[in-house]
């Protein structure tokens, strides 16, 4: 897996919003396509070589770069090579099309559908892409959001998406090799309008509850250092802890 966006909702220099690229042979699955992440993706492979993009939820820091990716697929050097599968959460297509409807159609038959093969995933069922299996769990967030587990050849990665403490996400990540977990909240900061995110300490608690082998902290803001994030998560999790960084590559398994 290559981290292509490790920032929380505000992208910053050298750190884009949510995106993780999992590659195995010809298979290349991007989980989320947040603001700034598509430029990062281009360092690793051309847009046409992406098998599928899977979007966890319809917050802009998780899907906005589907638009620049669309430009690459439509006007790039290998334009119209083939459509990329775009797997959205239920009802995601409606929101995405509403946004795209505000843009000039550029004489396209279908602004998005010309380059993406769009469908909604059913979060209650397993999804097969090549020899990989994806399974989902609803998270505790402000809008419908789905954590996802990628599994292939006995190795697994679980991506928390955006969530507060949620046992169903821990269950999804049971004994996973890599648990990519959000750590948005600063230590001691409490959400006032309902819960929807985790602190690094809570991310550690989620990893412990899931019995994950390794915790990768991600979706964090600019106010914390790696050392702070790790020491917070260390308070609750004994396994290996890594702070995600854009272009960081990790083997799954």
Q: Which residues bind Zn ion (CB under 5 A)?
A: 59, 61, 162
Question: Minimum distance between the CB of residue 62 and Zn ion, rounded to whole angstroms?
Answer: 6
Cα–Cα distance for residue pair 215/76, rounded to 1 Å = 37
The residue among 111 and 146 lying less far from Zn ion, judged by its C-beta, is: 146
**75: Cβ–Cβ under 8 A, 6 or more apart, which residues?**
none
Question: Minimum distance between the CB of residue 162 and Zn ion, rounded to whole angstroms?
Answer: 4
The residue among 61 and 246 lying less far from Zn ion, judged by its C-beta, is: 61
Question: Minimum distance between the CB of residue 120 and Zn ion, rounded to whole angstroms?
Answer: 18
Question: Minimum distance between the CB of residue 30 and Zn ion, rounded to whole angstroms?
Answer: 15
Cα–Cα distance for residue pair 202/139, rounded to 1 Å = 14
Question: Minimum distance between the CB of residue 169 and Zn ion, rounded to whole angstroms?
Answer: 14
**109: Cβ–Cβ under 8 A, 6 or more apart, which residues?**
none
Instruction: Give the chain's end-to-end CA distance (angstroms, integer).
Output: 11
User: Which is nearest to 24 in space by CA: 156, 159, 179, 212?
Assistant: 156
The residue among 150 and 220 lying less far from Zn ion, judged by its C-beta, is: 220
The residue among 10 and 175 lying less far from Zn ion, judged by its C-beta, is: 10
Contact in structure between 135 and 126 (CB atoms under 8 Å)? yes
Question: Minimum distance between the CB of residue 197 and Zn ion, rounded to whole angstroms?
Answer: 8
The residue among 58 and 172 lying less far from Zn ion, judged by its C-beta, is: 58
The residue among 37 and 236 lying less far from Zn ion, judged by its C-beta, is: 37
Contact in structure between 186 and 222 (CB atoms under 8 Å)? no
**162: Cβ–Cβ under 8 A, 6 or more apart, which residues?**
56, 57, 59, 62, 139, 141, 145, 182, 184, 196, 197, 219
**112: Cβ–Cβ under 8 A, 6 or more apart, which residues?**
66, 70, 86, 96, 97, 100, 118
Contact in structure between 162 and 219 (CB atoms under 8 Å)? yes
């Amino acid at each position: 897996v290559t981290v292509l966006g490790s920032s929380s909702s505000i992208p910053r220099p050298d750190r884009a919003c949510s995106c993780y690229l999992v590659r195995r042979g010809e298979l290349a699955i991007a989980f989320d396509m947040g603001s700034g992440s598509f430029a990062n993706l281009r360092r690793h492979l051309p847009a046409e070589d992406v098998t599928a993009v899977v979007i966890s939820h319809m917050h802009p820091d998780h899907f906005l770069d589907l638009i620049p990716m669309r430009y690459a697929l439509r006007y790039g050097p290998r334009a119209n090579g083939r459509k990329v599968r775009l797997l959205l959460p239920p009802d995601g297509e409606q929101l995405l099309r509403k946004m795209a409807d505000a843009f000039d159609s550029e004489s396209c038959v279908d602004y998005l559908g010309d380059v993406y093969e769009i469908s909604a995933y059913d979060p209650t069922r397993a999804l097969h892409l090549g020899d990989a299996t994806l399974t989902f769990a609803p998270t505790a967030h402000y809008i419908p959001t789905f954590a996802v587990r990628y599994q292939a050849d006995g190795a697994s990665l679980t991506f928390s998406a955006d969530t507060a403490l949620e046992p169903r996400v821990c269950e999804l990540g049971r004994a996973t090799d890599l648990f990519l977990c959000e750590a948005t909240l600063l230590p001691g900061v409490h959400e006032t309008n309902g819960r929807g995110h985790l602190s690094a300490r809570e991310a550690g608690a989620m990893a412990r509850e899931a019995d994950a082998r390794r915790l990768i902290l991600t979706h964090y803001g600019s106010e914390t250092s790696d050392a702070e994030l790790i020491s917070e998560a260390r308070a609750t999790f004994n396994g290996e802890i890594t702070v995600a960084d854009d272009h960081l590559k990790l083997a799954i398994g």
